[in-house]
């Protein structure tokens, strides 16, 4: 079962991968996000059968069907990487799910629908991070027209998930005589638990401001060396979605990976001290690590008790 779930996720991820590549290219080229895909060399519009991720690239041997010029390997790499990330995410989300007693009814099962909403938010998170990874890596550019809508969509998404959970709690309690005694006017139970359910949203917003603000203060202190306004917005986005304490761990991890990478570049002579490298890709790596293994890392950290 696990393999089928991974393959399903891989297909979804690779489709998103070609979307990621298109949005990243169009952001860097300051082009409209709308309109059909076209060959970057001859600008010929692509047909639906040219758009199968991975498969089309391999079938056409990395060449355009119309002008036969080589299409960069980057298209394939982005599609495969996104496939692996989303495939792994699917596997992680559903590996403990019992599909044997699955029916159409169970889509309306509370636990399953929460897992599904959570999965959608994570897919959105990975997709956005992948676009920003590419644009920052290539041109040290984090486009506002990607990161700003992403913050708003993330906020709306988190709010809807929170409302859904609280709404379900209310509905569930109102179904039984005992439950009705736990509702407002009789008891504080519902309010207390609603606040607990709203915590990821509150902590997300708090983390968004905290990490965005932290990066902003770094820019002010270092007078803009090493970090830019794009990192502030990316920091706010990852703070919002990862929440507390995962977002803080993600930032620490980003600095660690970035430092190791910078030292490696200096030792190998590819860069010299003081030269800037984009920080966004490291924020993306730190965020992905925390998205996939956040709970284990936090548990491990609490156990070693520093």
Residues engaged in binding Zn ion (CB under 5 A): 39, 41-42, 64, 66-67
Two tokens at 273? 């001290």
* Rg, the chain, Cα only: 22
Q: What is the dihedral of CA 260, 261, 262, 264, to 10 degrees?
A: 90
CB of 80 to Zn ion, least distance (A): 22
CB of 44 to Zn ion, least distance (A): 5
45 - beta bridge partners? 38
Closest CB to Zn ion among 72 and 167?
Answer: 72
CA 207 to chain centre: 16
CB of 65 to Zn ion, least distance (A): 7
Long-range (24+ apart) CB contacts under 8 A made by 171-177 are 172/110
Closest CB to Zn ion among 50 and 136?
Answer: 50
CB of 33 to Zn ion, least distance (A): 21
Closest CB to Zn ion among 43 and 272?
Answer: 43
Closest CB to Zn ion among 62 and 229?
Answer: 62
Sequence-separated (6 or more) residues with CB below 8 Å from residue 41: 64, 67, 69, 71
Closest CB to Zn ion among 31 and 270?
Answer: 31
Taken in order 38, 39, 43, 49, is the CA torsion positive or negative? negative
CB of 34 to Zn ion, least distance (A): 21
């Amino acid at each position: 079962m696990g393999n089928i779930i991974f393959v399903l996720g891989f297909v979804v991820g690779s489709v998103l991968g070609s979307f990621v590549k298109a949005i990243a290219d169009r952001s860097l080229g300051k082009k409209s996000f709308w309109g059909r895909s076209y060959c970057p060399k001859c600008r010929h519009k692509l047909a639906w059968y040219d758009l199968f991720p991975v498969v089309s690239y391999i079938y056409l041997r990395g060449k355009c069907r119309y002008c036969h010029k080589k299409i960069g390997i980057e298209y394939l790499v982005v599609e495969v990487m996104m496939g692996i990330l989303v495939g792994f995410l699917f596997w992680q989300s559903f590996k403990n799910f019992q599909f044997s007693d699955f029916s159409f009814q169970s889509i309306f099962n509370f636990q399953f629908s929460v897992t599904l909403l959570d999965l959608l938010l994570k897919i959105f998170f990975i997709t956005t991070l992948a676009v920003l990874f590419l644009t920052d890596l290539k041109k040290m550019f984090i486009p506002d027209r990607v990161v700003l809508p992403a913050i708003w969509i993330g906020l709306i998404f988190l709010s809807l998930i929170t409302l859904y959970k609280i709404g379900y709690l209310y509905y569930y309690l109102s179904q039984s005589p005992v439950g009705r005694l736990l509702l407002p006017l009789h008891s504080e139970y519902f309010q207390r638990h609603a606040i607990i359910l709203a915590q990821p949203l509150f902590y997300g917003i708090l983390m968004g401001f905290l990490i965005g603000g932290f990066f902003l203060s770094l820019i002010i202190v270092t007078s803009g060396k090493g970090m830019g306004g794009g990192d502030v917005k990316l920091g706010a986005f990852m703070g919002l979605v990862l929440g507390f304490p995962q977002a803080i761990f993600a930032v620490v991890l980003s600095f660690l990976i970035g430092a190791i990478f910078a030292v490696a570049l200096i030792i190998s002579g590819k860069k010299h001290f003081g030269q800037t490298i984009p920080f966004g890709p490291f924020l993306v790596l730190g965020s992905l690590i925390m998205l996939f293994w956040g709970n284990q890392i936090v548990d491990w950290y609490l156990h070693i008790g520093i």
